[in-house]
Amino acid sequence: MSQMGVLFVPSGPGLNSAPAREFLAPIFERTGRTVFWNEPSSFRGNPSPPGDLPAWENLVASLAASARSFTSPFVVVTESFGSLLAEALYRELAMTGDANRIAGFLHTPPTIDLLHVFRRSLEMGQDDFAELGDAPRLERMKRLLAELERDPRIDSPALLEGVVLAFESPKIMTHYFRTQDSLMRWAGAFGTPESAPEPAMRDRILRGMGAANAPLRTTFAPDVPTFVCAGDHDPYEPLSVFAGLVETARKSPGRRSEIVWHPMRESGHYPYADQPERWESEVWRPFLSLVEGR
């Protein structure tokens, strides 16, 4: 297997690559140079100017700087929100004639519709509060969901407040994983100050996306070999929705590179965490074969 650089783009906004590094660094390091990219932050070595709004363009510029640090072709691996950033990266590099340096995309899984993702997060919080008998939070969440229905924007006040409320549920993270062990190992990677989530950054990014009218759906770059993986217990979409999106992309008249779909059984939103050995054998190795056969 030839050496191939890896650029990892994490879920978010407001999160970072620490959990993925915990699971994936040993796998990626056998392939080549690896960059686990993080959103601009005051304490992760890639800060935005003080007080600067980290708008969509700022994120893409930061990611593009990491991409241009590779001196040879590399693959881009994304999870969730990262797929939107990765496609923006492709368009950014295309403007300078550098897009052909991306040898392949692996989305594990992609974000199909970011507004839907956040709406589902609010709905999961609502279900949790109902089950827990937390009447005050339940009524507040119902109100926010109704407001979001009337004002369905990625930067709407109801969405921003609702996400904070949803993650006040002590059960919210259990929706993302199949086992307690995988949840604890994934969440434990956020345990140091340098790797802690940044809710304030999440809100700034979402406001920036709204201001920039940033894309909220993954469409899959037509010129790059692409591998799409999702778990059968993903809390946001059933497998049929992921499969349908891939099939639509495959049949697109502009599609010039292969796109492969692989469902992961007994997996949640982070298949590599729930099934790390199977993820390497069923997703990572076939993806590299796809790229090398380009």
- Find how far residue 70's CA is from the centre of its chain: 21
Answer yes or no: is pLDDT of 164 > 80: yes
Q: Which two tokens stand for residue 116?
A: 């839907």
Burial of residue 3 (CB within 10 Å: 0-12, 13-18, 19+) is exposed
pLDDT tens, residue by residue, 256-270? 899 999 999 999 999
Q: Which two tokens stand for residue 159?
A: 């969405």
Give the other-Cβ count within 10 Å of 249's Cβ: 19
* 109 close to 102: Cβ distance less than 8 angstroms: no
CA–CA distances in Å: residue 262 to residues 112, 234, 275? 16, 13, 14
Distance CA 139, CA 43 (A): 37
pLDDT tens, residue by residue, 61-94? 889 999 999 999 999 999 999 999 999 999 999 9
Distance CA 44, CA 16 (A): 10
Answer yes or no: is pLDDT of 30 > 50: yes
Distance CA 197, CA 66 (A): 21
Answer yes or no: is pLDDT of 44 > 60: no
pLDDT tens, residue by residue, 220-243? 988 999 999 999 999 999 999 999
* 132 close to 171: Cβ distance less than 8 angstroms: yes
Distance CA 186, CA 177 (A): 9
Q: What are the beta bridge partners of residue 7?
A: 35, 76
The pLDDT value recorded for residue 51 is: 47
Please, where are the H alpha helices in 35-112?
56-67, 82-94
Residue 133 — pLDDT band, cuts 50, 70, 90? very high
Answer yes or no: is pLDDT of 52 > 60: no
Residue 193 — pLDDT band, cuts 50, 70, 90? confident
The pLDDT value recorded for residue 43 is: 56
Distance CA 76, CA 228 (A): 12
Q: What are the beta bridge partners of residue 15?
A: none
* 225 close to 258: Cβ distance less than 8 angstroms: yes
Residue 2 — pLDDT band, cuts 50, 70, 90? low
The domains found in the chain, sorted by start residue, are 5-112+215-292 (3.40.50.1820), 115-176 (no CATH)
Percent of the chain with pLDDT over 70: 95
**Strands, DSSP E only, in 92-232?**
102-110, 226-231
Burial of residue 187 (CB within 10 Å: 0-12, 13-18, 19+) is middle
Residue 41 — pLDDT band, cuts 50, 70, 90? confident
The pLDDT value recorded for residue 90 is: 95
Burial of residue 96 (CB within 10 Å: 0-12, 13-18, 19+) is exposed
The pLDDT value recorded for residue 97 is: 92
CA dihedral 175, 179, 180, 185 (to 10 degrees): -100
The pLDDT value recorded for residue 42 is: 60
Answer yes or no: is pLDDT of 197 > 80: yes
Tell me which of 53 and 80 has the higher pLDDT.
80
Mean pLDDT across 236-252: 95
Tell me which of 199 and 242 has the higher pLDDT.
242
- Find how far residue 51's CA is from the centre of its chain: 25
Q: Which among 114, 81, 73 is positioned nearest to 224, based on CA atoms? A: 73
Answer yes or no: is pLDDT of 53 > 50: no
* Max Cα–Cα distance, the chain, nearest Å: 57
